[in-house]
């Protein structure tokens, strides 16, 4: 069982690490979105932005990855730094060295670490033991980088965040948990339709509802996908068999079959609703090919925005100067049409 995310009561900003999203102030989330939009403009215009020149990022992955690995590695290179992939099976962790000793050593070599693992407690241990920033690249409990990138996509397409309704359908997994966190922080509505036994983490839901009292967010957890999708601005789904759940495949396919995001379900949402999926997708399982490849789908824009958001996260964590409270900024471009509207 994954440990529950810790909530910081002492940090006013992003802090040393990025493990989950509920402890990050709304103003900092807004700053991340603005910086990601600005970095996206720079990258698309071919304007160099070596904000992290000379910095080294370690990618410590226990699970397979395409978007997380490539976006962080490419992003670090575009920022003028370097990234080093460290598969856990290739380092001494696989032969019994402790996380504590490994974290202390890597803190002498690197400037930050992205950890992609199973139990959320492992990512928390890395953050405790490392003296450099630790970024959660995915755990069984949270996927914060994905949810932040999703906010960037919704902001670009809908021109606002507050009041937007996200409907999440299917397996209430780590992506669902992080979407609930950001919805609560940004004053959005999220309606979850998942079968009993496959719903999001109750502790995260409870904490998010406390946050929602301050932001005006609405969090609805139910079992009926038709109710969840009604009048949604965004309809979101994810794979039914997450990494580490392969042995449950037959049972999951049967139980989740009524939760497929298809044209019939999509018609319950607003006519201009966005279709989102964090990929990889299994056409014909959690989503039909017609919907995934249809005109309302923004899944590849969503995937691209992983690059720009990862870069913003890296800059906000690594470009801080000792003795300065002023956050890093991106100079040399005017405010873009992709600015944050909350």
Phi and psi at residue 4, to the nearest 5°: -75, 150
For residues 85 and 178, state if they share a domain.
no
CA distance 275 to 295: 9
121 and 152 assigned to the same domain: no
Q: Which residues are known to be catalytic?
A: 116, 143, 146, 238, 278, 306
Residues in the chain, pLDDT under 50: 1-12, 321-325, 334-338
Residues 213 and 28 sit within 8 Å (Cβ to Cβ): no
Structure tokens at 181: 């966190």
What pLDDT is stored for residue 94 in this prediction? 77
- Domain hosting 233: range is 146-300
Whether residue 84 is found in the same domain as residue 129? yes
Residue 163 shares a structural domain with residue 134: no
- pLDDT recorded at residue 329: 64
The CATH number for 224's domain is: 3.40.50.1370
What's the CA angle centered on 296, arms 212 and 70, to 5 degrees?
Answer: 75
Neighbouring residues of 114: CB distance < 8 A, sequence distance ≥ 6: 57, 58, 59, 60, 61, 68, 72, 134, 135, 136, 137
Tell me, yes or no, whether 34 and 98 share the same domain: yes
Classify each residue of 28-61 as buried b or exposed e, where b means 16 or more C-beta atoms within 10 Å of its C-beta. Answer: bbbbbbbbbbbbbbbbeeeeebebbeebebbbbb
Residue 90 in any domain: the answer is yes
Choose among 198, 190, 277: nearest CA to 229: 190
Kindly report the length of the chain: 342
Asked if 127 and 167 sit in the same domain, the reply is: no
Q: What is the pLDDT of residue 332?
A: 53
pLDDT in tens, 237-265: 999 997 777 888 999 999 999 999 999 99
Token duo for residue 305: 């925005």
């Amino acid at each position: 069982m994954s440990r529950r995310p810790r909530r910081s009561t002492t940090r006013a900003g992003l802090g040393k690490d990025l493990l989950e999203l509920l402890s990050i102030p709304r103003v900092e989330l807004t700053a991340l979105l603005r910086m990601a939009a600005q970095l996206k403009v720079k990258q698309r215009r071919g304007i160099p932005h070596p904000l992290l020149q000379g910095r080294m990022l370690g990618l410590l992955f226990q699970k397979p990855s395409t978007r997380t690995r490539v976006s962080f590695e490419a992003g670090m290179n575009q920022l003028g730094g370097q990234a080093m992939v460290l598969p856990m099976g290739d380092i001494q962790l696989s032969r019994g060295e402790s996380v504590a000793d490994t974290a202390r050593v890597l803190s002498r070599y690197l400037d930050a670490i992205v950890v992609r693992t199973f139990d959320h407690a492992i990512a928390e241990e890395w953050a405790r033991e490392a003296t450099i920033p630790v970024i959660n690249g995915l755990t069984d409990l949270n996927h914060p980088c994905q949810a932040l990138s999703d906010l960037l996509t919704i902001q670009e397409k809908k021109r606002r965040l507050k009041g937007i309704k996200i409907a999440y359908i299917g397996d209430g997994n780590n992506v669902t948990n992080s979407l609930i966190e950001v919805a609560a922080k940004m004053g959005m509505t999220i309606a979850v339709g998942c079968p009993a036994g496959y719903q999001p983490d109750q502790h995260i839901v409870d904490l998010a509802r406390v946050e929602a009292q301050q932001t005006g967010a609405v969090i609805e957890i139910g079992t009926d996908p038709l109710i969840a999708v009604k009048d949604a601005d965004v309809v979101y789904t994810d794979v039914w068999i997450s990494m580490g759940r392969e042995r449950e495949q037959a049972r999951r396919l049967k139980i989740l079959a009524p939760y497929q995001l298809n044209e019939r379900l999509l018609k319950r949402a607003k006519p201009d609703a966005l279709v989102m999926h964090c990929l990889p997708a299994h056409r014909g399982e959690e989503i039909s090919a017609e919907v995934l490849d249809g005109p309302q789908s923004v899944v590849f824009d969503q995937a691209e925005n992983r690059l720009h958001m990862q870069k913003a996260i890296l800059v906000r964590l690594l470009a801080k100067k000792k003795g300065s409270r002023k956050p890093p900024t991106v100079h040399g471009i005017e405010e873009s049409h992709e600015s944050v509207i909350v």
